[in-house]
């Protein structure tokens, strides 16, 4: 999905109508693009809930959190990009607080224990919701296209 479609999807309006123009610093745009490219390969953000199992998902969330943390020192701390990355990292922390990387949680979820499975699927959904908003903001603010599979989690404006 191209970034202008994402912008319209988030706001429901077309920016050129107002003559607004903003060019982000090139190094910040490259970092934003690097983050989007990294996230495009993370199935946890868009694949069917039915295909997800606890241990690989937890490992993927930890990997995403570590990547975002490693990018923070490269981002202008007063930029919107920094707030978007921090929001995504916080979302990873919230997921990991709900879905523990311990044997009990894995065993109960693997057996499709209703409560643990509900917690797991709900935590994935919450994380996808935050990431969808932040990815949409990054893509529209920095003029970055997003692969269709990842773009599915970007919310749409309902009329």
With a CB cutoff of 8 Å and minimum separation 6, the contacts of 7 are: 14, 15, 139, 140
Give the pLDDT of residue 146: 95
What's the CA gap between 8 and 141, in Å, rounded?
Answer: 12
Give the pLDDT of residue 138: 95
Give the pLDDT of residue 104: 56
Give the pLDDT of residue 131: 97
Give the pLDDT of residue 118: 78
pTM equals 0.79
What's the CA gap between 137 and 11, in Å, rounded?
Answer: 10
With a CB cutoff of 8 Å and minimum separation 6, the contacts of 99 are: 54, 57, 58, 61, 105, 109, 119, 120, 123
- Across the chain, which has 159 residues, the per-10-residue mean pLDDT values are 54 44 71 97 90 85 97 93 97 91 56 67 94 95 93 81
């Amino acid at each position: 999905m191209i970034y202008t479609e994402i912008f319209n999807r988030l706001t429901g309006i077309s920016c050129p109508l107002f003559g607004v123009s903003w060019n982000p610093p090139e190094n910040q745009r490259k970092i934003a693009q690097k983050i989007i490219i990294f996230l495009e390969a993370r199935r946890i953000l868009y694949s069917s809930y039915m295909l997800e199992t606890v241990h690989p998902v937890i490992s993927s969330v930890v990997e995403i959190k570590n990547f975002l943390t490693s990018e923070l020192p490269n981002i202008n701390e007063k930029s919107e990009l920094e707030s978007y990355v921090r929001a995504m990292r916080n979302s990873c922390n919230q997921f990991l607080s709900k879905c523990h990387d311990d044997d009990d949680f894995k065993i109960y979820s693997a057996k499709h224990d209703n409560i643990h499975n509900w917690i797991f699927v709900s935590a994935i959904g919450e994380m996808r919701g935050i990431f969808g908003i932040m990815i949409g903001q990054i893509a529209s603010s920095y003029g970055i296209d997003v692969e269709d599979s990842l773009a599915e989690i970007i919310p749409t404006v309902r009329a």
